[in-house]
Amino acid sequence: MKVFSASSLFAGASLLAATSVMAQTAPAPAAPAAAQSSLAYNIGVVTDYRYRGISQSRSKPALQGGLDYTDKSGFYVGAWASTINWIKDSNASDGSMELDIYGGYKASVGAVGYDVGVLRYEYVGNKLGKVDGFANANTTEIYGAMTYSVVTAKYSYSLGDTFGTLNSKGSTYLDLSANFDLGGGFTLTPHVGRQLIKNAPGYSYTDYSLTLAKDLGNGLSATGMIVGTNADKVNYDFGGKGYLGKDALVVGIKYSF
């Protein structure tokens, strides 16, 4: 489950210095560069894969990677994958990889950026079903986000059963985050979110995190995140193998190219 953050595009202008002794008229600002289409890849590893505060890898390291195509029109598509453990911990079902496939549109109106799209969480090989007391884990959400200055609010809505919970169509997730540029390649991102599981209030919870990221140059970046939840300790201990919503420090490194 990949967490997405909305972004905005900014254009700058340059001022040419006059070298003549004659009076000069300041040139007009340069026209904004035309938007370009792009294809980007990333691969990384984290000490624990946390999604909406809940460990997906049973507090163990996870290997992750993805690709994104962004069209100059603002439309985008992408795919992202990670190793996981929670489905196998839930019962005897297979499902050791999560594959997210998504697409949407980003643009801005004045100083406000927006992002709308659809996201499919595919748990490859999972066989969860009603006979086990679960719904199939595969989940589809639509989402919308708005960004103003450094603050982003995002709302996600499930179109069917949500992450293996029966009769949970219409579950929602609302989160608020900010992105502060500290200089020197450092950014600080506080976050709080609320996951509501329809018809299963015992699975609803609030999560929170604080992430410090460092751009190491040449496509490398590193992160350190303090994360936690108030999720129910019984409902989020799959297979009796440990509470998945506990407070933790998660470290990661990623290469983008």
**Model confidence pLDDT, tens digit, residues 62-116:** 999 999 999 999 999 999 999 999 888 876 567 799 999 999 999 999 999 999 9
Locus of tokens 């992450």: 163
Measure the N-to-C terminal CA separation of the chain; round to a whole number of Å: 21
CATH number, domain of 145, equals 2.40.160.40
The closest alpha carbon to 35, from 119, 118, 108, 115, belongs to 108
pLDDT of residue 92: 56
| 8 A C-beta contact, residue 176 and residue 158 | no
User: What is the pTM assigned to this prediction?
Assistant: 0.84
* Length in residues, the chain: 257
pLDDT of residue 22: 32
pLDDT of residue 4: 38
100 assigned to some structural domain: yes
* CA–CA separation, 242 and 89 (whole Å): 10
94 assigned to some structural domain: yes
* CA–CA separation, 64 and 42 (whole Å): 8
Locus of tokens 């190793």: 83
pLDDT of residue 91: 67
pLDDT of residue 94: 73
The closest alpha carbon to 51, from 92, 82, 79, 78, belongs to 82
DSSP H/E element including 193: strand 186-196
33 assigned to some structural domain: no
13 assigned to some structural domain: no
Its domain, for residue 164, covers: 38-256
pLDDT of residue 33: 63
pLDDT of residue 238: 83
106 assigned to some structural domain: yes
C-alpha 44: how far from its chain's center?
14
58 assigned to some structural domain: yes
155 assigned to some structural domain: yes
- Count how many domains the chain has: 1
Residues (pLDDT < 70) of the chain are 1-34, 91-93, 130-132
19 assigned to some structural domain: no
